[in-house]
Structure 1
Amino acid sequence: MAGDKNGDHALLAGIQKDLLSPRILVLKRLLEQSARTDFAGLEPENAFARRILFALFRNRESRVFELAYTLGSDMAQVSRGLATLRKDGLVNTRRQRDPYTLTSEGEKLGKQLFVIAEQREARLLRGLETGEIIELVAMLIHLQGRANVLLAEELALARSEGEPSELPAAQTEFATRVHPLLSNLANTVLRTATAAFKRLAGASQFEWRVLVNMAERPAIPFAGLVQHIGVDKGQLSRTLNALEKSGLVVRTEDASGGPRRLDLTAKGRRVYRLMLTDSEQRNAHMIEGLRPVHLERLRAQLDRLIANAVTMAPET
């Protein structure tokens, strides 16, 4: 399958297969890949600005802090997205603190985008019964609530260390579709992980993705790492250079004359274990309140969504 070829299922290797966050983030990446094709030629081209437009189309109006919480993002990013939409004549607001609404052009575009979104939702949920979908929505809402608590705690830690941060506001999302629930949850998980990894090891979330893939695949060549992570070669090369400079990664020559191999150093493995422990702890907190039988069904449902999302993603 395309997902296996691009390394998306392979990301769940080792300990990752037992955690929920990797599944959520794999889904986010796959859905973003297919969205670039499905929404091609329709404004706004920026995926985040498009999500803002979706939220306004569904909620009719929202303030910046409401959109930030609904989308699992920060207010600065939302403000930039709204500025782009306003420049394009798609949103408006009377005063800075008033709710944003869609213009007539924004409403027209919202209807077009919503038709495509409904088609994507049907493809994503293919094979799930109505009862399973209802259960999935309920569990995603539960996970979002737990993820919000974790994010608030992590941001509070950052603030106590002198870094600027903001706490989430009140939840305003309408839980009527799985796709936006997954996107919002993925963003919240990603923000929490990014803040935690920076605090613990001074590493970015993408550097963690590189480390976890290398830890599960000793002596992997560069091309193999590109395939498993499914990213731009230039971005991966720059990240590896930074990790090597930090003493976390080492490159060795292959005895048979093949491509150079990549491994974690002893320091790299210590950092990996530290961040892995944190990931496991956050996973345990996020699934609190879910019975083992529900958790087992949730993993199975997410795996089904991943399989469906693989068929939605364009071949590369």
Structure 2
Amino acid sequence: MRESVDKVNRRGRQDPADDEVLELVHQVMHQFRSQLFQALRQGEHELTHMESKVLGFYAHRPGATQSDLVQHTGRDKAQLARLIKGLRERGLLHGEADAADRRNVRLQLTPEGQAIQQALRQQAKALEAQAVLGLAEEEKAQLLALLRRVQGNLNA
């Protein structure tokens, strides 16, 4: 009986490292994104974080609609409409009316939008390489496995 009580009591106590793990994951991702978008802002195109996310969405889903983006992001429809309008005015997104339902506009990146998206991806790849510099293949595999377990715990 004593052993089962001890297990229950230990489970109720939080290890101080529990809080630190997710805080560090958050800080690493914030630092990564900050450096990535700092490079973008210093380039010839000034993009906000959300603008880059919108471009990324349409890069992976050419022909998707604004409604598809709203559903994917869960963001406010009006906010996304303003973002899309701005990206279209800057020549980064192009829209065509849907042949089946002319009320829907199918959006895709323009060649300039594709170039920006490619530059963002190259910058991200360089930062990804920098982030894991010096880690052995086994260490990368272990880190991935541990993070997948954390993700699984949150999904349970």
On whether the aligned pair clears a TM of 0.5, the verdict is yes
TM bin, normalised by shorter chain, reads 0.7 to 0.9
The runs of at least 4 aligned residues of structure 1 exceeding 4 Å deviation read none
Q: Which residue of 280, 305, 313 maps to 2:150?
A: 305
1:126-181 C-alpha deviation (Å, 9 max, x unpaired): xxxxxxxxxxxxxxxxxxxxxxxxxxxxxxxxxxxxxxxxxxxxxxxxxx721211
Residue aligning to 1:77: none
CA change 1:235–1:300 in 2 (3 A) is farther
Residue 215 of structure 1 aligns with which residue?
59
The reply on whether 1:180 has 2:23 as its aligned counterpart is yes
1:205 matched residue in structure 2: 49
Paired residue secondary structure (1:288):
coil
How many equivalent residue pairs? 140
Q: For the Cα contact (< 8 Å) 1:226–1:236, is it kept in 2?
A: yes
Q: Given that residues 209 and 229 in structure 1 are in contact (C-alpha distance below 8 angstroms), is that contact kept between their aligned partners in structure 2?
A: no
Give me the CA root mean square deviation: 2.3
The corresponding residue for 1:278 is 123
Mapped contact 1:250–1:265 kept (Cα < 8 A)? yes
Matched, 1:236 2:84: no
Structure with higher Rg: it is 2
Whole-Å separation in 1 of the counterparts to 2:147 and 2:123? 22
For structure 2, the residue ranges without an aligned partner over 5 or more in a row are: 1-13
**C-alpha distance in 1 between matches for 2:136 and 2:70:** 37
Instruction: Return 5+ residue gaps in structure 1 as ranges.
Output: 1-117, 123-175, 312-316
CA 1:300/1:232 → structure 2, altered by over 3 Å: closer, same or farther? Answer: farther
User: Once the 2 structures are TM-superposed, how far is the Cα of residue 300 of structure 1 from its aligned partner?
Assistant: 3.4
Q: Report the 3-state secondary structure (helix = DSSP H, G, I; strand = E; otherwise coil) of the residue aligned with 2:108.
A: strand
Note closer, same or farther for the CA distance 1:237–1:297 as it changes in structure 2 (3 Å cut).
farther
Relative to 1, partners in 2 of residues 1:298 and 1:231: Cα closer, same or farther, differing over 3 Å?
Answer: farther
Describe how 1:1-316 pairs up with structure 2 within 5 A.
118=14, 177-200=20-43, 201-257=45-101, 259-310=104-155
- Structure 2 length-normalised TM: 0.77
Deviation at 1:245, TM superposition (A): 0.9
2: CA distance, partners of 1:246 / 1:262: 14
